Structures are given as structure tokens and as C-alpha cells.
Amino acid sequence: MIENDGQRFRFSEAPVWEWQRAYYEQQGMQAWTDNQVPQYITSNPMIATAYAEMIFGFLQDLAAKGQTSETVTILELGAGVGRLAFQIVTKLCELRDYAAITLPSFRYVMTDLAADNVTGWRNHPSMQPLIQQGLLDFAQFDAMQDTELNLTVAGTVIRPGELGQPILIIANYFFDSIPQELIYVGEGQIFECDVTISNADVSTNLQPNEMLKNMELSYAYRPAPEYSKPDFPYRDVISLYQEELEDSHILFPAAGIACLERLETLSQSGFVLITADKGDHRLDHWKFAEPPEFVLHGSFSLTANYHAIQHVFEQRGAYVRFTSHHYKDLNIGCMLMVEEPISYVNIRLAYMREIERFGPDDFFSIKEWFDHQLSRMELKQLLPFWRLGKYDAEFLIHSAQRISDLLPEASDEEMLDIQHGIQMMWSSYYTMDQMGDIAFLAGQLLNEMGLYEDAKHFLELALEADGVKRSSAVLYDLAVCCYELELENEALSYTREVLVMEPDHEEACSLLQSLES
């Protein structure tokens, strides 16, 4: 049964935040791999490339200022399953190596509240080359209170004032998931919105996600004169809300702003923030706003108040950009809280190219449409879309059958582009539970195109990923590849293994006869 059932809480101190915290601590990385918490929209190669381009621009700006001697720390808050971090670092290395210019070195630090996530990243097979190159480190970090970073690989601590370069912070689905205040503006006055939580399910020992699913909320309002006091740290933005809004509920990100302020103290030179969330930076969004809607996905998320964050830091001299057009699913912003932010030309240009003109939110909208049009598309549409999405493995999962159907009419150039796409996809693939399926799809397509050596490589990866469970479909395709490559002993072995599993497998029986004759 819910603790304190019916008790009234200040919104930021309600039990829902404890349940949120407990959920992530209990689930660890399973929260994302089980598709409970959304992660694709902020973890695909499209957004990783956009972020890498902005970070690369930032490194170029520092180099132009002669600041190349000290390493730049890139800090991701709530790094989730780790897919975004891996792809950003991979693509950033590609840009660095291709440009071959003098840049400051960088170190990407993944953080999370859950210690098990930190351990999972450090032991993840895809991370090992990056760790060995000194490009990747990890830290357990509590966004509500921590003031330093304990790096697990380097074994060092980053304390306030120790960084000479500005720290670059990445915060995706972060500000909407940590405690927020809830205030109400009415007749020019500020009220605190307290919440009462009751539970329709009176059974005991409910898990955090069950508590969230079964909760019932009601709100009560009380005057909050503390927000209007001259010494309230965010008085300017509160005054704006009093003047401009009426009958409006506002989620106020005091904890998120305080977290940025604490992270800012780590550096002597300020910070840069790249952030994406379900949240708005326009004041009009908060006009006549109803009480917040809890979006449940194992945990929960609310709407991030980017307007307050932007206003607070702009008052201190920050340069902040969000798109001039309205977002649909993901609002992406860039903040330069540094000295003379306008002089950081390359990162500002990268934001224009990668976010403003056409960005990850636009791509995600098109991808939703694309998924429904797949059966009517030809290779001349499929392959450019795959390139647009930076050779995402998700594309192959959805499109492999359609590509297979189109192969008989494919030109040599199109088949070479498919082969190239598979190689590009795999070069930045982050190992997850789907690895075996993706490798099998790649192997099947290459096999159908007669690229048997490449196909054999991917089919062996699929077989290895299966572990104890060896798929007869993978084994048969491997047998065919080995037969075509004149590796008769291997072909015979794989064929016999298929027939042990499926004695009536007609194709395998026929192949066995050919091999034995």
C-alpha cells in the first residue's frame, strides 16, 4: 500500500520522485533494453552525428583560441543504455581523423545515478576500444546533490575549479525526469501547487512502476510569497510569469538549473549545454497550462521548462539557441555559458546545419511516415533514406525483407551501395540484444547478392551471438556460403548440423547430396 496515502506534498518532494529513482536503480540498463523507457529517438545515428558535429565545432573554436593543451571533458547526464555515447565518440573520432587538424583532446564521461549502469557500461564489449584509447570514462553522479565527478577508469576526481577548458554537458531526457517545482499563476500571484497522492490498488509490496501506474493525483494551492522575495535566485523569470501568464500551471526546473550551476563550478571557463527533451522554450507554451501530465513508461516523464532555463542563463550572458520552427517530438537546444559566446562560430554554425535546417526531430517524423510506406518504395528511395539516417541498424531491421524482394531487379551499383551500407552500419553498431538478428539480416542480404565471403562473416557473427541456441536458418545460410566458397568441410559440417535439428529440411538434404557426390 502507498506510504502516506492521502498526505499532501510539495510537488518536488512527492513520493513519485522516490519511485522514479528506485525504478532506475532496480532496473539498471534493463529499463532501456526491454523497451520500457524510450531511447531510440535520442540514441540513433542521426542525433549522434548532429551532436558530434556540434562538439567538433566546439573543439575547432577552442583551437582557434589557442586552447589546445588541455583535454576537454564531455559529460553526459543520465547516459541510459550507452548507445548515444558510443555513437557520438565514434563519429567524433571520424571527424577528427578526417580533418587532420590540431584540436584539443577530449574525454567523454558517461554518468548515471544507478551504480549498476556505470558497471554495465564499463564492461560493455563495444566500449573497450574507446576505454583503451583514453576517450571514455564513467562516473556515478547524483544530479540532485553531487559537486564532483569520481572517474572510475582514471581513478581521479574532478573537483570544482579543476578544469581549464569549458565543460560540455549533454542532457537528453534529463530535465523532464528529475524533481521539479509546480507553481500556479493566477491574478498576478504565485501559488505553490501541492499534490495529494492516493492509490487505487491497496495491495502491498508494489514495485515502483506499479505504484506510478496506480496512483491518483489531486492538487491544492497555497500562496507562495517566497517566490516574490528579492533574494529568490530566479526572481526575474518568476516576475515575467506574473506579468505575462494567467491561470497557468508551470513546472519550474529549480533542481535542473541548480545541477547546471554545480557542474559549471567544475570549470574555470564555464560550460556548453547540448540538450534534447520533450519541453518548450516559448513562453506561449505555458499560457493557460493545465496541471502536468505524467507520461508513464516504467518510469515517468513530464514536460521540461526550457523557457525558464534559457531565461535564467541568458540573464547571465549565455547564448542560447532552439529551433525557430516548432518541434514535434524532441526539442533540441544549445547553450554557450562561456566568455564571449558569440565568438564560438563553429559550434553555432553546426547547430544551424544539423538542427535548425533539418534535424533529428524532423528525421524522426519522416521515419514514422517512411515505416508505413516501406512496401511501396524502390531501392532508389530506400538507399538514400538509409544514408540520410546515417546507416542506422534500425533501418535494416524494418527494411531487409523489402530490400530482399527488390534484389532481383537491382543494378550492380545498387548492390554495391547495399554492401557499403552494411559495412558502414556495422562500423558504428553498439552491441545490444538485437546483435544476432541484425548480423543475420546482413548475412542473408549479402548471401542473396552472391557476396559470400562478406555474408559468411556476418552469419558467423550471428551464430556467435546466438550462444547456446544455434539457429538452423543461420547454419543453413552458412552452409551455402561455404559451399559457394568451396569450403567443403565447413559446408558439410553446417549442413549436417541443420539436419540434426530439422531432418526434413529439404534444401539442406539437397545440399548434402551435392556435397557427398
pLDDT tens, N- to C-terminus, the chain (517 residues): 244 456 889 999 988 888 887 877 777 666 555 555 556 888 899 999 999 999 999 999 999 999 999 999 999 999 988 999 999 999 999 999 999 999 999 999 999 988 889 999 999 999 999 999 999 999 999 999 999 999 999 999 999 999 999 999 999 999 988 999 999 999 889 999 999 888 755 455 777 777 787 888 889 999 998 988 888 999 999 999 999 999 999 999 999 999 999 999 999 999 999 999 999 999 999 999 999 888 777 778 889 999 999 999 999 999 999 999 999 999 999 999 999 999 999 999 999 999 999 999 999 999 999 999 999 999 999 999 999 999 999 899 999 999 999 999 999 999 999 999 999 999 888 887 778 889 999 999 999 999 999 999 999 999 888 765 678 999 999 999 999 999 999 999 999 999 999 999 999 999 999 888 7
3-state helix vs strand vs coil in the chain, percent to 5? 50, 20, 30
- The alpha carbon dihedral of 17, 23, 28, 34 has a sign of negative
For 382-395, give one letter per residue: b (16+ CB within 10 A) or e: bbebbebbbbbbbb
- Please provide residue 53's backbone torsions phi and psi, each rounded to the nearest 5 degrees: -65, -40
- Cα gap 2→195, rounded to integer Å: 14
Pull the grid cell for residue 470: 544455434
- Cα gap 449→61, rounded to integer Å: 46
* Burial (CB count within 10 angstroms: exposed 0-12, middle 13-18, buried 19+), residue 97: exposed
- Please provide residue 163's backbone torsions phi and psi, each rounded to the nearest 5 degrees: -95, 130
Pull the grid cell for residue 145: 546533490
Q: Determine if residue 339 is left, alpha or beta; phi over 0 gives left, psi from -120 to 50 gives alpha, anything else beta.
A: beta
Longest dimension (CA), the chain: 93
- Cα gap 484→416, rounded to integer Å: 19
Model confidence, pTM:
0.92
CB 279 within 8 A of CB 327: no
- Cα gap 28→11, rounded to integer Å: 25
Q: Can you list the pairs that 203-210 forms with residues at least 24 positions away whose Cβ atoms lie under 8 Å?
A: 203/1, 204/1, 206/1, 206/2, 207/23, 207/26, 208/19, 208/20, 208/22, 208/23, 208/26, 208/299, 209/19, 209/23, 209/36, 209/296, 209/298, 209/299
CB 275 within 8 A of CB 322: no
Helix (H, G, I), strand (E, B) or coil at 295: strand
- Quote the Cα angle for 115-146-21, to 5°: 50
- Cα gap 316→102, rounded to integer Å: 32
Q: What is the pLDDT of residue 330?
A: 94
Q: What is the pLDDT of residue 31?
A: 59
Helix (H, G, I), strand (E, B) or coil at 252: strand
**Residues 6 or more apart in contact with residue 33 via CB below 8 angstroms:** 81, 432, 433
- Cα gap 493→125, rounded to integer Å: 29
How many angstroms separate the Cα of 87 from the Cα of each of 108, 397, 429? Answer: 11, 18, 8
- Cα gap 375→402, rounded to integer Å: 7
Q: Which residue in 397, 399, 451 sits closest to 420, CA to CA?
A: 451
